[in-house]
Amino acid sequence: MEGPEKTTALAPELLSRENGDDSVEYMSRGKLIWRRFWRHRLARLGLPVLFALYMMAIFSDFVAPYRPDSRLKGFKDAPPSVIHFGVGENRFQPYVYARKRSFHPKTFREIYTEEEDKKYPIHFFVRGETYEILGLFKLDLHLFGVDEGANITLFGTDSVSRDLFSRTVIGALVSLFVGLGGVAISFIFGCLIGGISGYLGGIVDEVIQRIIDLLIAIPTLPLWMVLSAAIPRQWPVAHTYFAITIVLSIVGWTGLARVVRGKLLSLRDLDFVVASRLAGGSDLYIITRHLLPNFASHLIVTLTLAIPGMILGETALSFIGIGMQEPGVSWGVLLQDTMNFGALVHQPWKLIPGVFIIVTILMFNFVGDGLRDAADPYSL
Amino acid sequence: MLYIIARRIFILIPMLVLLSMISFIIIQLPPGDYLSSYVLRLESQGLVVDEAEIARLEQRYGLGQPLTTQYFRWMRNFIVNGDLGRSFGSYGSSYDNKPVSDIIMERLPATMIISIVSTIVVWAIAIPIGIYSATHQYSLMDYLSIFIGFIGLAIPNFLFAIIIMWIVFAQTGHAVTGLFSLEFRHAPWSIAKIIDMLKNVWVPVLVLATAGTAGLIRVMRANLLDELNKQYVVTARAKGLSERRLLWKYPVRIAFNPIFSTIGWLLPAMVGGEALVSIILNLQTIGPVLLTAVLRQDMYLAGSIIMILSTLTLIGTLISDIALVWLDPRIRYD
């Protein structure tokens, strides 16, 4: 803490302003945090990738060329489409070939061959299958697609002929937002209960802490399993989704409550807080002006690093069949198809949703790491 | 010190009682009970279940009574006879009506072997790498270990298990499932059986150890870096202590603290983590039994396993707290 930045920041008027207003000495706290964050190379990679993933999820109906439940007749277990370039004059026009199905004479496995005389250019912003936006109005615009007669399956198809790319993109909506939702609920409970525990202290604190100890002592996955087994199978997708978010946050809030309480306890009796109290600052003033800014950054870091755990939790639950249910789509549901690893030898593309999970978790960890470095911009 | 231990054990007792209640309550959460779903299953197979049979089953499992009675009966039998109740046979017919304690004892060896071997592997890999990364910050090895660490954190265990099986199967045509090859599955323990186990055990160990190693390298590296920047290290160096002694005498010892403070959570965490992996790899561990028991509401089996795991965590936390005081004289509880 006793770095040169600190000392100079205390007496800015003594400094010559030759560096201009952009020098470190004159930067606001927010600017300092951003500068420190941006110095973390991996975080610099993580932020735009996460942004792109979330954008893809939000506009998933538009990005996906097909509906998640529509079947491409006669294209069971088809491999990813190969994209070629160059139609007529335009050398950059991408196109796919129509594909013909035949069967292997011995194994009866499907074989798809490209019909090289039938070129189907890929069009952008095309009309296709209709989808609803927020249940309000209907739209049929898609980012890309091909004309009737052929199809484009970027990630191949599954065992009932559904386009895996469309399903992955639309599944992102569930998988990515389950983390945000779970963290939001954990955040409310964690702050509330941790705050009460740390601020009141005494017997209330003791009881709350013991309850948290108990909850932490129950192994996470079995607890999640029991709770999600309690979700009725016949519930609509949206209800199941909401229930899973709550199940995930039941474990999540305990860690956060501990952070909040620990920070409150350590800050409560520091000199500047006591001084503010003696000077007549009200509780609300002290909490919002002194306490909150001091641990908000740590809270954000804890929250960011909690999201990947929840995404993994949803994936694991859906994978063993007690999370999201068909017709709901999430990355965990999609990975159920990989359980038969013998089939994977012939259809490795079914692992692609797994790649999305890994990338998402990685990026969250990168950003979380960068935020941790940036959380205390005054340290060296 | 003795007073602290006595006090902690005293607090532990009501917590254990609470925990047994929670375990019992949460397994009752799913709608319906085992018997009704069992009857439904029989009826769907076209079998007629007569009233007397249902009454007999109800009597056998003690299901008719109110929840509190069931709980106290379960607890009394456990404390007096060490009897945790009987399984309803959710996990195959061979477990039908088998004492829960027998099932757990049958499944425990494989669980322990995998957990212990994974833990040893994690420590043997992560601690040296963590120390090396901290002392050679920003070196190639450091970046490499950070990278591997991140990947290890990001791959879900079950996905990793599938990928390994897929690769092994695609390369050799051999499916690595179970801990033993077929001919050894029911054989008594022998040298040959142990060698056979070693041929198969590496897959679950690799899967479980990767995630653990990733986390531990990060913890070890961060802790050691914190310590190495402290003034006592500078002082010791200024006084001419060799780098080797300087490193091992204090900073490494202190960096070990968080590892010891979580040692008690290892077994429960492993059982939680291995559940999915074991289902995929078809291992004879506790995890898959717990999963089916939970899903089919085999309540004594599920409740007992959850209670035992939670109890182990609480006791483990106590042990590691005591170990921490013993290891680091600066830590005081009062």
| Every domain of chain A and the residues it spans | 65-165, 168-374
Distance CA A219, CA A99 (A): 50
When pLDDT is cut at 50, 70 and 90, the band that residue A358 belongs to is very high
pLDDT category of residue B28 using cuts at 50, 70 and 90: confident
Out of B22, B153, B276, the one facing A218 most closely (by C-beta) is B22
Distance of residue B305 Cα from the nearest chain A Cα, in angstroms: 10
| pLDDT value, residue A21 | 53
Cβ-Cβ contacts under 8 Å for A140 (sequence gap 6 or more): A127, A128, A129, A130, A131
Distance of alpha carbon B286 from alpha carbon B305, whole angstroms = 8
Helix B100-135 / helix B286-296 crossing angle, nearest 10 deg? 120
* DSSP result, B157-196: HHHHHHHHHHHHHHHHS----SSS-GGGTTSPP-HHHHHH
**Which residues of chain B does A43 touch, with a Cβ-Cβ cutoff of 8 Å?**
none
Type of residue found at A266: S
Contact B45, B38 (CB under 8 A): no
* pLDDT at residue A34 in the model: 82
Cα gap A312→A303, rounded to integer Å? 15
3-class SS at A326? coil
How many C-beta neighbours within 10 Å does residue B215 have? 16
Inform me whether the C-beta atom of residue A246 falls under 8 Å from chain B C-beta atoms.
no
How high does pLDDT run on average in chain A? 82
Q: Which helix (H) or strand (E) holds A92?
A: strand A90-103
- Could you tell me if B331 lies within 8 Å of chain A, comparing CB atoms? no
Provide the whole-model pTM: 0.82
A302 against B183, higher pLDDT? A302
Beta-carbon pairs below 8 A across chains A and B? 131
Contact B165 A341 (CB under 8 A): yes
Q: What is the number of H-type helices and E-type strands within chain A?
A: 14, 5
B292 has pLDDT over 60: yes
Q: Which tokens belong to A29?
A: 């706290």
Q: How many CB atoms lie within 10 A of CB B311?
A: 18
Alpha-carbon distance A262 to nearest alpha carbon in chain B (angstroms): 16
Query: What percentage of chain B carries pLDDT values higher than 70?
Result: 86
Q: Greater confidence, B49 or B165?
A: B165
Q: Is the pLDDT of residue A16 over 50?
A: no
| Subunit contact A226:B151, Cβ cutoff 8 A | no
Q: List, in sequence order, every residue forming a beta bridge with A103; answer none if it has no partner.
A: A110
Tens of pLDDT, residues B87-111: 776 676 667 777 888 888 888 888 8
Shortest CA distance from B266: residue in chain A: A219
What is the phi-psi region of residue A134: left when phi exceeds 0, alpha when psi lies from -120 to 50, beta otherwise? left
- Asked if A345 contacts A250 with a C-beta cutoff of 8 angstroms, the reply is no
Residue type, A376: D
* pLDDT tens digit sequence for B250-261: 888 888 877 777
The CA distance from A278 to A274, in Å, is 6
Averaged pLDDT for residues A219-235: 79
Decide: helix, strand or coil at residue B103: helix
User: Would the pLDDT of A49 be above 90?
Assistant: yes
Among A251, A260, A261, A374, which Cα is nearest to A310's? A251
Q: Give kind and range of the element (H or E) at residue A98.
A: strand A90-103
- CA-based nearest residue in chain B for residue A352: B159
Average pLDDT estimate for A48-74: 90
**The pLDDT value given to residue B33:** 67
Task: Check CB contact of A281 with chain B, cutoff 8 Å.
Answer: no
Enumerate the residues of chain A whose CB falls inside 8 A of the CB of residue B31: 230, 232
Q: Which residues contact B268 (CB under 8 A, 6 or more apart)?
A: A217, A219, B309, B310, B312, B313, B316
Please classify residue B231 by burial: count the beta carbons closer than 10 Å to its beta carbon, then call 0-12 exposed, 13-18 middle and 19+ buried: exposed
Fold assignment, A168-374: MetI-like fold (1.10.3720)
Q: Which residues of B touch A361 (CB under 8 A)?
A: 153-155
Chain A residues in contact with B158 by the CB 8 A cut-off are 316, 319
**Pick from B15, B29, B156: CB nearest A315:** B156
Q: How many CB atoms lie within 10 A of CB B66?
A: 7
Query: How does the average pLDDT of chain B come out, rounded?
Result: 79
Cβ A361–B154 below 8 Å, yes or no? yes
pLDDT tens track for B225-243: 888 888 888 898 899 888 8
Q: What is the pLDDT of residue A50?
A: 94
Q: Which residue has the higher pLDDT, A82 or B138?
A: A82
How many angstroms from the chain centroid is the CA of residue B77? Answer: 26
